[in-house]
Structure 1
Amino acid sequence: MPIRNIAVGHPHEATHPDALKAGLAEFISTLIFVFAGEGSGMAFNKLTDNGSTTPAGLIQAALAHGFGLFVAVSIGANISGGHVNPAVTFGAFLGGNISLLRGIIYWTAQLLGSTVACLLLKFSTGGLTTSAFALSSGVGVWNAFVMEIVMTFGLVYTVYATAIDPKKGSLGTIAPIAIGFIVGANILVGGAFDGASMNPAVSFGPALVSWSWDDHWVYWAGPLIGGGIAALVYDFFFIGSTHEPLPTTDY
């Protein structure tokens, strides 16, 4: 059972060199990802003079996020696992693949990375607004809530299948590609409705820098619930007794 494998971790983990290196890797990876993804949206707004979203803009966003996440996961995979997303970290925690204390380090690094990326974008673009995620006209908060749950379920399920599952074999080498692809595909689906976040850190940075918090809870609750369900489902049905727990030093 996944819940039995949950580990809190030791207090000294907060200052352990490996944990700090992993946190730094998450910070850098998230910064790179958000700078590319959020930056593509700002570039589109500048080119269209803040025009409405078009199919071309949606494709641009999907490509920028897909490519950016592929790189971000790849460069962090050997250090931190390349989570780049609090929902992925939460799913890994529920499956017993990361301790609570290390997860808090990851969350802090991811939120800081997103915030710094947005501050750099605002400065380097001459003060352009970092647009916070928002619901499209006619889309209610509960519509977006379910959309975020489903999209993040697909993302975290893909992470488990290609990167976490101990039986993944050669799939582990293409994990960053698969993860980038599912995010790009989901943006093509949900981008026109609620922006398709799937990542609380990606939503947090722009919201903080622009100080726009409308319906922000949707972009936390939806991804965390979707990611948690995906982790529990995959771990329970497909990993099961073959689960490899954390090393005893992490408990």
Structure 2
Amino acid sequence: MSNASNHTPIHIEKTIPLKKALLILGTFTGLFVVTGCIIGYSFFWGKYRQQSYGDILLQVAQQRVKANPKDAISHLELGYAYLLHKEEDKAFADKALKELQQAYQLAPENRQVQYNLALSYIAGKQYNTAIDLLVPLAEEGFFNLDAHFSLGEAYYLNGQYNEAITVFSEAAAIRPGISDSYYYIALSYEKMGNREKALTAANKALRLAPDYKVYLELKAKLEEQPAGGENRET
């Protein structure tokens, strides 16, 4: 006669296949990550736009001007910070000019102030005023090369192509390895209708930067023009 109490209970373990276990683990992990991202975006990341270097520079410069309203360098830095944003909003170009004019009033002899004020005038298409500031800077001092480039640009944009060629040629003499000098010389000769000299300058630019797309496009454009075209050089 059997006795129920003598029977040992049977323990049955259920095993989960490995693939199924990995699937479950992956599902829970994915839910955890997604939930964390939603919470993070809702409470933290979504409230703030990622700041660029220019944004930070602008905020710091604004604080410095507020703390030192009579300091020319503080206004200079704020003007420069606004110039970095001029492509985003025309109002920034106007603000840059205002700050740099203030810096110039406080320190008219400061070469950094003069140079950046000239850049602001170029941005505002006030080329003659920029030229007046840049001519003495291009003649001597720390900003010699930069001033030459900016002065050449101002001449070029003002339609004074002979002057632009002279200044960019001086820049090339100061530092022959900078291809942009020859590029702007080529552009100036092109504007004057001198195809041959424009091609010569474009080739010099390409020797320094053989794969630069802008130079290649200029050369191709010049080569398509008929040789011995009108020469408007004066």
Larger Rg: 2
TM-score between the two structures when normalised by the length of structure 1: 0.26
Q: Tell me the TM-score normalised to structure 2 length.
A: 0.28
Asked which structure has the greater RCO (Cα within 8 Å, sep 6+), the reply is 1
